[in-house]
Amino acid sequence: MPIYKAPIRDISFASREVFDFGTIKALPGCSDMTDDLVDAVFQEAARFCENELFPLNQSGDQEGCQWKNGEVTTPKGFKNAYDKFVEGGWTSVSSDPKYGGQGLPDSLEFILEEMICSSNLSFSLYPGLTRGAYTAIHAHGAEDIKQKFLPKMIDGTWGGTMNLTEPQCGTDLGLLRTKAVPQKDGSYEITGNKIWISSGEHDLTENIIHLVLAKTPTAPEGVKGISLFVVPKFMVNDDGSLGDRNKLQCTSLEHKMGIHASPSCAMSFDGAKGWLVGKENAGLSYMFTMMNNERIGVGLQGLGISEVSYQNAVVYARERLQGRSLSGVKHPKKPADPIIVHPDIRRMLMTMKSYIEGCRMMGVWIGQEVDISQKHPEKEERQRADDFVQLMTPVVKAFFTDMAFENTNHALQIHGGYGYTQDFGVEQYVRDARITQIYEGTNGIQGLDLVGRKLGMHMGRLLRRFFHPVQEFIKEHEDNEDLAEFVGPLAKSFDRLQRAALTVAQKGMANPEEAGAASTDFLSLFGHTALAYLWTRAVIVSKPNENGSESLFYKGKIDTARFYMQKILPRTSTLFATIMAGKKTLMDIDEEAFGPFDFSGFSQEITRAS
């Protein structure tokens, strides 16, 4: 059976020592965020995740969601756990107090999301999608829409979804076919089909509030003609009570590789009544408010599932006896040494540890900048923070989830043959992690977003939000001999990143395929460099404490940073070389050279699906 303990000490290190939580407490509306309150929230969240959500993870995966006659039943125990989740106030942590939320910082919410995702990724999707739908309605909905839907979404009585994908369009939403016909009462009739809708139907909440992308009859072609509509499963009366069921239904569930306890629904809207959010033909930008929130959330899913995989790998490596240490017997009273003595096992564990703890620091960083972008009294500071969040969102989504798939595979490998079976639970983490690289915009799309949009936005202003502080940090510490083994590699990686950014920008302007060919490697180079910066900051915090009462903890930080600089960061050299090689070897090969295969029947199936 797998295990999980919330990493409270490391979370505190990232949020209070590497970064100053006092910065958040100084923001308007956050003055009551005392250390005691934060500690209480962390401890209670850890208790709930460890004792209520985690025990349902493996059983939920094995049972899965069940569909019958348009209704979806969640696995045993999920409804009871969700009711306790609502009772504990976890659905309302960072929501607007005007509509019943607690108004706590988003940076705190991000930390809680990691714990929830570690304990039960499938469960996390139900409140996670509701929070995303809340974000879009809160940002763009008219006041009557907000008053009608937000309070019960915030208190967890109602759930939320987003409906983008259709059989013929995923990333390319310009191909969208769902129609919205205006009615005399100001509503719209929504007709169309959506697929892969997480939490599209379930039995956890009384109502489900769908956010649906559709086109009105007079809409212009392409993405410029997309509007956003709020479409409830059950109609809502003026007094807030539920009325008749709307004309929509779940027609089937997808049969998936992982996240079995989260229903991925095919949804049919047959003249369903909906209401416009904001203005017509502005729906795509509105939906991206939700999408960007979800992309950070998916990054946190990757972090969470990496953490629980790592914990189980460490426990197994300490207990599994196989062979003897190459340097001599370490445990002479045992018939063999535990596998944690072997270099290759340590290579995998240290890779996981350095990525996880580095990404946790990055998650705290972007969480605090989200708070500043929303709450800081000065417009310039809000803009600076928002620029940073926009820049880092694709990095968090793609880098964290690529890291998660690597980490979960390391965990499985450490377990050996047992890992490939269901007995120890780690094979589920590999399957669950894989979807995080795909949904909310594939990781390839995140790379294109970074190089195709974020690098050039506002004449490079977004990029400077990262480049300038890192450059200043390197300059400040480059002559410190005690930090030379950390600052030196950081400076080299940062130089590669700067040169790569300039090359991608210049080549991409002349030929967009050059930027596209470099995009995935550039995002990885960016993520690895950011972690090098954060690990150097972690060393600065840890060195004064390496001989104190928590010497093991702080010395572990320094050792992990050293491993990252010497064993992981050199990957940036290869990434830089592949970026500089350009598009030629990718794009010059003829399409027919990929193989003389006749898949005409398969092609017909794809055409029918489209």
**Is 94 in contact with 102 (CB distance < 8 Å)?**
yes
Whether 510 maps to a domain, the answer reads yes
Whether 595 maps to a domain, the answer reads yes
The stretches in the chain having pLDDT less than 50 are none
Number of domains in the chain: 1
Give this prediction's pTM: 0.96
Residue 464 structural domain? 454-610
Integer-rounded Cα Rg, in Å, for the chain is 25
For CA atoms 207, 212, 214, 216, the dihedral sign is positive
- Give residue 252's pLDDT: 97
Is 440 tagged catalytic? yes
Q: Which tokens is 135 given?
A: 């974000």
Whether 238 maps to a domain, the answer reads no
Catalytic residue among 52, 357, 440, 514: 440
- Give residue 433's pLDDT: 98
297: Cβ contacts below 8 Å, ≥ 6 apart = 113, 128, 131, 132, 440
- Give residue 284's pLDDT: 86
Rounded to an integer, what distance in angstroms lies between the CA atom of residue 322 and that of residue 331?
11
> Which among 402, 363, 360, 356 is positioned nearest to 560, based on CA atoms?
356
Whether 384 maps to a domain, the answer reads no
| Count of CB atoms situated within 10 Å of the CB of 234 | 16
Whether 213 maps to a domain, the answer reads no
Max Cα separation, the chain? 84
- Give residue 604's pLDDT: 58
486: Cβ contacts below 8 Å, ≥ 6 apart = 532, 535, 536, 539, 561, 562, 565
Whether 288 maps to a domain, the answer reads no
Name the 3-class secondary structure at 355. helix
Whether 549 maps to a domain, the answer reads yes
- Give residue 386's pLDDT: 96
Strand 158-163 to strand 207-214: parallel, antiparallel, or no bridges (unpaired)? parallel
| Count of CB atoms situated within 10 Å of the CB of 468 | 10
Whether 39 maps to a domain, the answer reads no
- Give residue 403's pLDDT: 98
